[in-house]
A and B are shown apart, each in its own frame.
Chain A
């Protein structure tokens, strides 16, 4: 998206927010249309459940309407929407039974005293193309992401999946930029390790066949 396009989008959005604050219901419709997919996708990726994501989306849309006058424009409107979505998703998740988290540290790379990698690293990056669109691969990827601890998962979803900038993610989560980077790096290392197990096994089976 070009810079001018972004600027225009921002102006349109700000105008819609002002209209909604003045009680314009059509502006509300437009905002709901603009945001419902983003709200649904983020909450679905956090909860992996259609009914829950639907509930959260409804709740967030309602909150946007009810609380629009508390939005002061200190951060971007979209950051505000993402924050409300995260809060609503976490509330929902907490009301359900929680699965124990895996420790991320166990899955980070290990080194010997001289700083060399200790495990054997296979390069499976060339063999993912044919596998990407199989349902099995997609399930493996989703499960790996589901296993990420909450702190790392949210950074990963906002930055790598929603493709928001590091600065934007730090605004939404109220974290420093270095903290966002460090969590994202840990998330990627964790996921790389998880996916490695799957793709290496696939490659070795292919080798045998």
Chain B
């Protein structure tokens, strides 16, 4: 029987689906008897998803886009002169 500490050490690989069958089985047995670890697993997953949803929506603001465009245009002009 694995303990909570081992369970949390294994969460990463469990979440990735990269644990072997036996370990997955003992981990799931632990979950059955341990609501705190289920809560931990659920919030561990949620944390990853929430952070991703919040941070991967970064768009280049219009003013930055314009600055970059004119910067690139200017750079291209300089290079063409060479």
Binding site for B on A (CB under 8 A): 25, 28-29, 32, 36-37, 40-41, 44-45, 50, 53-54, 57-58, 61-62, 65, 109, 111, 114-117, 120-126, 128, 132, 137-138, 141-142, 144-145, 156-157, 160-163, 181, 184-185, 188-189, 191-192, 195-196, 199
Contact = CB atoms under 8 A, between A and B. Distances in A.
Contacts, number: 129
B53 A132 contact: yes
Nearest to A118: B4
A116 B3 contact: yes
A91 B39 CA distance: 40
Given A61-B72, A160-B51, 4 more contacts: A61-B71, A117-B37, A163-B52, A188-B44
A121 B39 contact: yes
21 contacts: A25-B80, A36-B68, A37-B59, A40-B64, A62-B75, A111-B4, A111-B5, A115-B6, A117-B8, A120-B36, A121-B43, A125-B39, A125-B42, A125-B43, A125-B45, A145-B55, A160-B51, A161-B52, A189-B8, A192-B44, A195-B50
A109 B3 CA distance: 13
A189 B8 CA distance: 9
Given A123-B39, A161-B52, A37 B11 contact: no
Contacts of B51: 141, 144-145, 156, 160-161, 191
Contacts of A156: 51
Contacts of A121: 36-37, 39-40, 43
A191 B50 CA distance: 10
B12 A181 contact: yes
Nearest to B46: A125
B23 interface: no
A192 B3 contact: no
Nearest to B82: A23
Given A29-B72, A196-B43, A37 B4 contact: no
A117 B40 contact: yes
The listed residue with most B CB atoms (<10 A of its CB), out of A61, A114, A125, A195, is A125
B75 A195 contact: no
